[in-house]
Every structure is written in C-alpha cells, then in structure tokens.
C-alpha cells in the first residue's frame, strides 16, 4: 500500500518525537556535508504569493545541497484561486512534483493545497502561521541554551504568524512563553485554545499581557517581529502608533538578564520594532536563526520527501 504523505502546515502537525527527529537530523547535517544525494531526482515546487529572501533561498539551496531540484512559482505564475482553483492546482502539481512549499495570504490556501495534493505540502508562511521559521528558531535556542524545558521566552510585538507558531512550539516542547502585545493585537483565543492539550502534556505556561516591562526581567530569550506583516500594509499608520511602547530598545532591554538572547525572524526594521543597538548588539542571535533555516528545512525536506 502507498505510504500516506505527511504535511507541515502547522507545528501541530508534528509530534514531539518528530520535532526531535528533525533536530537530530539537522545536527547531523550541519556538522557533516553528507546527504548530498539524499533527494536526487526529487523536485520541490515553491508556490509563493508573497516576497521572500530567507525562506525561498534556504529551501532552494537546501534542495540543491541534497541533490534535488526546485521550481519557483511567484505571485504571477500559479494564480492560486485567481487563474484557477487551489484544489485543481494541488492535483496538477501532484503529478509533476515531489513536494510543495507554499507562502500564502491565507492559511486556508495552504490547508487546501495539503488536502487536495498527494505530495507533502509545507507551510512557508501564511497570515496565520510560520512553522518552518519557528522550528529553526527553536533549534537555534537549543544550540545556544542547551535545553528547552523550563526556558522563559518573551515575544514582544504583534500576535502574528510567528507568535502563533511560537505558541504551538512552546506548548509542545515545555517552554514558558509570555506574549507582550498591545490591546487588540493578541494572537487569538482560538489559537491558544488549540494548544491546550499540548500545554497539559508538557506543563509549560503561555501568558498574554499588555505590559511590556512585565515579561522582560526574567526572560532567557526576547523575540520580536515586524509590526506590519505582509498583507497588513493598509493598517500601517495605526500599527506604528499602537506598537510604539513595545519597541525592543535599550530602555526595555536594561531590565533583561545580562545573558538574555535577542531574536527576530527578519526582515527587521531598525527604529521600528527594534533599535540598531539591540539587533546589532552582543545578545543578538538573529543571523544564527537565519542560517539555521537552511539546516532545519533540509531536515524537514528529508523527513517529508524521502
């Protein structure tokens, strides 16, 4: 019987043991340049409705390093739901490719691609989630702090796609996460609710607060992201006003522990969500995060496409 394909549309698609498998494969691949023919003959399609530097190039480079090839379909190419229905595109691409990475405006589009294709579908960012980013981030945290259980992570800014994926990863892996957001920008009760059973199993705690100073003083990691995500451009002026007190700057960071690490998924806007002295300072690990996208995503490709 044909093996059932596996998707990565959300971190909730993975068990803790699968996440650990991805991390252990990442460690192996990062330290040795083997696996160069592991995906020989496979073709990955990148179906992107939004721009990308890191996700696109790390998936493309990763696929080449594993002996496979890629086809990139930008916003004007596949025409998801514009030129033809997502369901048809999913069926058609399944006949040509071995896997799809999709970057979409709506999570529903990724979910539909996953449902109607017979090949693995990987979420390369949607309005709701950014699972590959956060898996790379958690791997980076583990590299730096050695352990995840009981760590205190504070996410400051918008309760956006990165924040929501962090919630799921934290809930699964026993990380205590405090989300510091202005009123009205919370990640959504339904999202936190979906993490409930994982929280019960891991024993970690998710707290949402509007007070920027509350979460900072005992955090091991402070993570921030842009205030205006792709697709939110129409509310830019209002957002810049609402998020101003939540800037990660030296006044706020003075309250942090001396070994507190600073994370950002990038691209960053120095002077908006974070100041230059913090993102370019000694506690910042943003470029380690960016590099690890390559290694972790290679492990994801091996797990799903092989």
CB of 180 to ligand CP, least distance (A): 20
CB of 162 to ligand NVA, least distance (A): 5
Q: Looking at residue 234, what DSSP letter applies? A: G
Cβ 99 vs Cβ 301: under 8 Å: yes
Residue partners of 213: CB distance under 8 A and separation at least 6 = 252, 255
Q: By rule CB under 6 A, what count of residues binds ligand NVA?
A: 9
Which of ligand NVA, ligand CP, none interacts with 161 (beta carbon under 5 to 8 A by kind)? Answer: ligand NVA
Judged by CB under 6 A, which stretch of 30-38, 97-105, 135-143, 225-233 contacts ligand NVA?
A: 225-233
230 near ligand NVA, rule: CB under 6 A:
yes
Which listed residue (262, 265, 300, 305) binds ligand NVA by CB under 6 A? 265
Query: For residues 125 and 173, which CB has a smaller minimum distance to ligand CP in the complex?
Result: 125
Q: Where in 123-142 is the site for ligand NVA (CB under 6 A)?
A: 125
222 near ligand NVA, rule: CB under 6 A:
no
225 near ligand NVA, rule: CB under 6 A:
yes
Residue partners of 114: CB distance under 8 A and separation at least 6 = 7, 9, 90, 121
- Which residue of the chain is nearest ligand CP when measured via CB? 55
CB of 266 to ligand CP, least distance (A): 5
How far apart, in whole angstroms, are the C-alpha atoms of residue 179 and residue 262? 15
Which of ligand NVA, ligand CP, none interacts with 226 (beta carbon under 5 to 8 A by kind)? Answer: ligand NVA
Which of ligand CP, ligand NVA, none interacts with 162 (beta carbon under 5 to 8 A by kind)? Answer: ligand NVA
How far apart, in whole angstroms, are the C-alpha atoms of residue 114 and residue 91? 10
Judged by CB under 6 A, which stretch of 111-119, 142-150, 154-162, 181-189 contacts ligand NVA?
A: 154-162
The token pair at 175 is 């990380």
User: Sheet harboring 69-73: ordered strands across?
Assistant: 69-73, 43-48, 99-103, 121-123
CB of 197 to ligand NVA, least distance (A): 26
Which listed residue (161, 176, 247, 284) binds ligand NVA by CB under 6 A? 161
Task: From 295, 303, 160, select the one nearest 223 (Cα to Cα).
Answer: 160
Query: For residues 239 and 295, which CB has a smaller minimum distance to ligand NVA in the complex?
Result: 239
* CA dihedral over 169, 170, 172, 174, signed as positive or negative: positive
Residue 191: other Cβ atoms inside 10 A: 18
Element (H, E) at 70: strand 69-73
249 near ligand NVA, rule: CB under 6 A:
no
Judged by DSSP in three states, 143 sits in helix
Strand pairing partners for 221?
Answer: 153, 261
What does the binding site for ligand CP look like in residue numbers (CB under 6 A)? Answer: 52-56, 125, 133, 265-266
Residue for token digits 């040795």?
A: 32
71 near ligand NVA, rule: CB under 6 A:
no
């Amino acid at each position: 019987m044909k093996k059932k394909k596996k998707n990565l549309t959300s971190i909730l698609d993975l068990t803790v043991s699968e996440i650990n498998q991805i991390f252990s494969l990442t460690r192996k691949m990062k330290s040795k340049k083997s696996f160069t023919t592991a995906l020989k003959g496979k073709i990955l399609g990148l179906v992107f409705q939004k721009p990308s530097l890191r996700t696109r190039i790390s998936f493309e480079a990763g696929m080449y390093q594993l002996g496979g090839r890629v086809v990139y379909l930008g916003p004007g190419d596949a025409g998801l739901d514009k030129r033809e229905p997502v369901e048809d595109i999913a069926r058609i691409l399944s006949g040509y490719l071995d896997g799809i990475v999709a970057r979409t405006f709506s999570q529903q589009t990724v979910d539909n691609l996953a449902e109607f294709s017979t090949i693995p579908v990987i979420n390369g960012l949607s309005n709701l989630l950014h699972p590959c980013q956060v898996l790379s981030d958690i791997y980076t945290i583990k590299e730096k702090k050695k352990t995840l259980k009981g760590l205190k992570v504070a996410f400051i800014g918008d309760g956006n796609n990165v924040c929501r994926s962090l919630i799921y990863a934290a809930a699964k892996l026993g990380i205590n996460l405090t989300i510091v957001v202005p009123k009205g920008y919370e990640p959504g009760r339904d999202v936190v609710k979906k993490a409930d059973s994982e929280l019960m199993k891991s024993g970690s705690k998710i707290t949402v607060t509007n007070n920027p100073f509350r979460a900072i003083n005992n955090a091991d990691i402070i993570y921030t992201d842009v205030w205006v995500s792709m697709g939110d451009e129409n509310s830019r002026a209002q957002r810049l006003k609402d998020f101003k007190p939540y800037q990660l700057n030296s006044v706020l960071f003075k309250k942090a522990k001396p070994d507190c690490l600073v994370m950002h998924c990038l691209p960053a806007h120095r002077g908006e969500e974070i100041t230059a002295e913090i993102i370019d300072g000694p506690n910042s690990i943003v470029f380690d995060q960016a590099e690890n996208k390559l290694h972790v995503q290679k492990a994801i490709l091996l797990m799903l496409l092989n």
